[in-house]
Amino acid sequence: MLSTRREFLASAALATAAAPYLRAQSKTAPEFHGLVVGHGAHRYRVDRLWSQADQAKTPVNNCHEMVQVRDGRLFLLTDHAKNNVLIYAKSGALLGSWTLGLAGAHGLTLAVENGREVLWIADTRGRVVQASLEGELLRELPSAEACGAYKPGEKYAPTEVAVGPDGRLYVADGYGSQFILRFDAAGRYLGKFGGKSELQPGKFLQAHGLVFDFRGPAPLLLCTERMRNEFQWFTPEGEFVKSVYLPGAFLSRPVLKGDLLMAGVCFGMVPHDFRPKMKRGFVTILDRDNRVISNPGGQAPRYTDAGELLVMLQDQPVFLHGHDVCADDEGNLYVCQWNAGKVHPYKLHRVG
C-alpha cells in the first residue's frame, strides 16, 4: 500500500502546479437532468436547470463556492470580476448580484461577528477580504509578506479562510507556499504552520480548503489536502492530529452539515493510473465516523474487511469538476463546478 501511495503522490506532485489552469472543452450531457444519484440514505435527483440566472446578463467563469445565510438565501462566489457574488433563492431565482472586482475569487466563508453575518473571500491573486452580505468591503487581512509570514518573493495565493470559535482567522495558502496562516480576530498575524511536503504529516501538496470541525470533544481545524486525497485535522494551534485517506478523490473544501462531512471532488482517477484525470468529478459524503456513505455521481463506496477504503471513481459524468457542495436547510445539495463550460450550479434534490 505504501509503495502504491508513493507512486500516486509522485504523479500528483507533477500535476499540482498545472491543475488550477487546465481547461475543459465540453459540458455534461443533458440526459443526466433528472437522474437519481448517490447511495443509501443519501440519494438525490439532478436538476441541471435549477439556476434561473441569465449567462448573458450575469456571466460566470468558475462557480467556486456557495453558502446559505440565515434567511435562506444562497450566496455563490465566482471568479468573474463583474459578478463575484450571485444571490439565489432556493427555487433558483436570481435575487441579485455584486462584485468587488476580484478576478481570483476562490474561497467563500460565512461568519457571524457581533450578531451580523459577514463573508470572508480568499482571492488567489493574494488578497483576503471581508464583505457584508450587501457587497460592502469591510476590511482586509495583510498579505503574507506584509505581515511578516513570508519573505519577499515567496508565492502567496490564498484559497480559503476558516474562523475559529474564538474569532481567530486561518488562511490556507493552497495555490501558493502551502502554509496555514493564523491571525487573531482583529487581523494581527500570529504565526503559520504546514509548508510543502509530499509525505510528511501536517504538511501539504495542496492545502485547498478549511473549516472548523465541532463534531468531536474539542474543535479541530479540518483541511483538505487535495493532491494527497486526504482530510487532515489540526488543533487550533496547528498541531497535526489525524488524517483520513480517500483514494481517488481530489477533494475541494470540506463542508460540514450536522454530523455529515462532504466535499466536491474536482478530479478523479482511472484504474491503475494515479494521476488526476479531467472531467471525472463527483461529490462525496462521509458520516460522523468519517466513513464514506454516498458518492453522488461516483461509484458506491467500498471498504475491505479490514476497513480500508478502495479507490473511488466517477460512475456517471453528471459533473465535470466538483469545486464545492452547499447543503441547504432542507437537505438538498448545490454543486458548484470549476472548468465546466461556465455552467451555473446544479441542484441535487434529496430523495432518500
Cα torsion angle, 130, 119, 173, 22, sign: negative
Least confident span in 24-33, 84-93, 290-299 = 24-33
- Quick one: pLDDT at residue 13? 47
Task: Please give the grid coordinates belonging to residue 279.
Answer: 472531467
Predicted confidence (pLDDT) per residue in 143-193, tens digit: 999 999 999 999 999 999 999 999 999 999 999 999 999 999 999 999 999
Per-residue model confidence (pLDDT) at position 9:
52
Domain CATH for 57: 2.120.10.30
Residue 204 burial (CB < 10 Å; 0-12/13-18/19+)? buried
Sorting pLDDT into bands at 50, 70 and 90, what band is 5?
low
Give the integer Cα–Cα distance in Å for 238 and 220. Answer: 9
Q: What is the per-residue pLDDT for 19? A: 40
When pLDDT is cut at 50, 70 and 90, the band that residue 31 belongs to is confident
- Residue 164 CB neighbour total at 10 angstroms: 16
pLDDT at position 105 is 98
* Number of domains comprising the chain: 1
How much is the average pLDDT of 221-244?
A: 97
* Domain coverage including residue 161: 2-350
Q: How many residues does the chain have?
A: 352
Q: pLDDT averaged over the chain?
A: 92
pTM: 0.92
List b or e across 183-193, with b for residues whose CB sees 16 or more CB atoms inside 10 angstroms: beeeeebeebb
Spatial distance between the Cα atoms of 266 and 225, rounded to a whole number of angstroms: 12
**pLDDT score for 10:** 46
Spatial separation of the C-alpha atoms in residues 295 and 237, rounded to whole Å: 32
* Position 14 pLDDT exceeds 80: no
Give pLDDT tens digits for 59-113: 999 999 999 999 999 999 999 999 999 999 999 999 999 999 999 999 999 999 9
